[in-house]
Amino acid sequence: MIWLDTLIQGLMLGGLYALFAAGLSLVFGIMRLVNLAHGDLIVLGAYLILGIGTATGLNPFLAAALALPPMFALGWLLQTALLNRVLGEDILPPLLVTFGLSVVIQNALLMGFSADSRKLPVGPVEAQSLPLGPVNLGVMPLVTFVSAVAVIFGLNQLFYRTALGRAFRATSDDPVTAQLMGIRPDRVFAVATSIALVVATIAALYLGARANFDPATGPARLLYAFEAVIIGGLGSLWGTLAGGLVIGLAQAFGAALNPEWQILAGHLAFVAVLLVRPRGLFPRAND
């Protein structure tokens, strides 16, 4: 029975990792930009939710809803003022700039909030669980998992069912020809990063509700997110969900064998998948 419990815990944890990774996957899929500050932007979102909650007295779920518009705006600003200037044939400048951004965000958070770890107070729901046959399922992990599936589903609908989604894919395929269709790649990229930061804010809610966070939490989240994106296949959103689940399951089973093996097991699963499927589980056909 412990294995069934571990399986469920792993799946739920994988949902959280998929949320970390979804924004990263979206941005990479559209503009081939690896945003090394993605984890720090999630942590920034968590502090924003905490700040709004503290200032207004709202619970973190409502505070997160209020945090979505400013994070969308931040994404727009970040892309138009900074990232659009460094995107090009050479992949190194965006890597350096987002690495620098990561350092800037961490230090700004350190100055503003100190190195103390914080947590989002979600209230009694944190301890609630549902009996599911022989095991109990925590409400918060379940909500996290359902949110992850909903976010990935929503992004997929956006990608494959809307004019904006067609513009995303066309710009990703061929930005020059996309301009001949009246598409402005810089604006398409700005919308994409804005949406990625909205997803990052949702991830931030569940990150802060599940565990403590501090200004230095970001890079480790980035690593899990990056592994999830690579396992799933670059540019595939459902693949990213699958990648998150693989890491979550590996960590849960690793921890069940020996608590010290949790993190290592996730990384080993990453390496194992790449050994068998170097392009990930669901690579895009035309990459």
Q: Which residues pair with 136 in a beta bridge?
A: 131
DSSP string, 111-144: HHH-S--B----GGGGG-EEEETTEEEEHHHHHH
> Does 284 interact with another protein (rule: CB under 8 A)?
yes
> Does 89 interact with another protein (rule: CB under 8 A)?
no
The smaller minimum CB distance to another protein, of residues 260 and 287, is found at 287
The smaller minimum CB distance to another protein, of residues 171 and 201, is found at 171
Stretch that binds another protein, among 75-83, 86-94, 172-180, 219-227 (CB under 8 A): 172-180
Residue for token digits 């207004």? 56
> Does 71 interact with another protein (rule: CB under 8 A)?
no
Residues 6 or more apart whose CB falls under 8 angstroms from that of 241 comprise: 15, 18, 22, 148, 149, 152, 232
> Does 172 interact with another protein (rule: CB under 8 A)?
yes
Tokens encoding 39: 């984890």
The smaller minimum CB distance to another protein, of residues 49 and 167, is found at 167
The smaller minimum CB distance to another protein, of residues 16 and 178, is found at 178
- Each residue of 43-76: b (16+ CB within 10 Å) or e? bbbbbbbbebbeeeeeebbebbebbbeebbebbb
Q: Which of 65, 169, 219, 223 binds another protein (CB under 8 A)?
A: 169
The smaller minimum CB distance to another protein, of residues 47 and 168, is found at 168
Binding mask 177-216 for another protein (x = CB under 8 A): xxxxxxxx--------------------------------
Tokens encoding 253: 């089973």
Stretch that binds another protein, among 57-65, 164-172, 191-199, 268-276 (CB under 8 A): 164-172
Nearest partner of 228 among 12, 16, 21, 15, judged by Cα: 21
> Does 174 interact with another protein (rule: CB under 8 A)?
yes
* Site residues, another protein (CB under 8 A): 163, 166-167, 169-170, 172-174, 176-184, 284, 286
